[in-house]
Structure 1
Amino acid sequence: MGDDVHPKERGQRSEAAIVFELVRRGLTVLEPFGDNERYDLAVEAAGEFYRIQVKTGRLENGCVRFETRSSGTLTRKIEKEGYDGEIDVFAVYSPELEDGFVVPIAAAPTTTMGLRVEEPEKPSPNTNWATDYRIDDWVESIRDERE
């Protein structure tokens, strides 16, 4: 996906990719009517609903980076707002990797997050490995919660 893609289109592509991945795994995916909800999608599994905010991740220095807050313009001033209490997970799609990840809101910092896909130059105990946030693992966990 090139830099010349409009941000709205980039977001739509990421949403479509995430919907495909969730439906492919047998989940029921719901979309809120209109554009006023803080979440983009909801899924139902084992009688429970999960609110999902889709983000486009950008591959930078071996990490898939994404914003964990929204940006909006309010009277010529950019407002950044978190999602605490309004979503359950972030679903992050990386166009460069053609892969997606699911990060619970409780595991995400309040501004940005990186999911490491390559070994860092300097090891750190605070590394968030992308493999810890695989879509398959999240889908399995929400199916197992009620069984």
Structure 2
Amino acid sequence: MRASRGGDRGALRLGAARRHPKLAGEFAESAFLSAAMERGLSVSRPFGESAAYDAVVDNRALRREGAQSCLWRIQVRSVSGAAPYRVTTFHGSCKRPITRHDADFLAVFIVPLRTWYIIPVRRFAPAMGLWLFPHVIASRGRYERYRESWRLLF
């Protein structure tokens, strides 16, 4: 991806990622790894592409006093384009819904707003999709409490 020309010199041009779902996924996964590491979390990726999750977060170094150390399985998604934002919550060629057996959290990157949602899978499974409304001031959407909720991973 190339840096854009014009107003925001730090922005990335996402046109190629929008045209190729694989690139969009790689972009979102890279953005998640970076955002999690900026918050002090240790992040790993599974070897190969057969796992139902995209990353593993280890909170051992940052866990709260008395809290149990955890390895969290993270499924990463991204959405771009116009609001409202619909996120698919299924995977595989059979379009099977993500369940707690597949991942612990869904991390959704709203590309145009550079906003993250960290949603426990148990809060939506076995739904095939969910709607996010980060563009609505004081939104009362079902998942708004999970906007930028990185604390859930600690």
Contact 2:88/2:128, CA 8 A, preserved across alignment: yes
2:104 equivalent to 1:82? no
- SS of 2:142's equivalent? coil
Q: Tell me what 1:68 maps to.
A: 89
Select which of 50, 60, 69 maps to 1:36.
50
**Does 1 or 2 have the higher relative contact order (CA < 8 Å, sep 6+)?**
1
Select which of 125, 143, 153 maps to 1:142.
153
Q: Tell me what 2:134 maps to.
A: 117
Contact 2:119/2:143, CA 8 A, preserved across alignment: no
Displacement of 1:100 in angstroms is: 1.6
Contact 1:31/1:40, CA 8 A, preserved across alignment: yes
- TM-score, length of structure 2 as denominator length: 0.74
Q: Which runs of 5+ in 2 are unaligned?
A: 1-13, 61-68
Identity %: 26
- TM-score, length of structure 1 as denominator length: 0.77
CA RMSD of aligned residues (A): 2.2
- Of Structure 1 and Structure 2, which has the larger fraction of its residues in strand? 1
Q: Tell me what 1:76 maps to.
A: none
Q: Which runs of 5+ in 1 are unaligned?
A: 73-78
Contact 2:57/2:153, CA 8 A, preserved across alignment: no
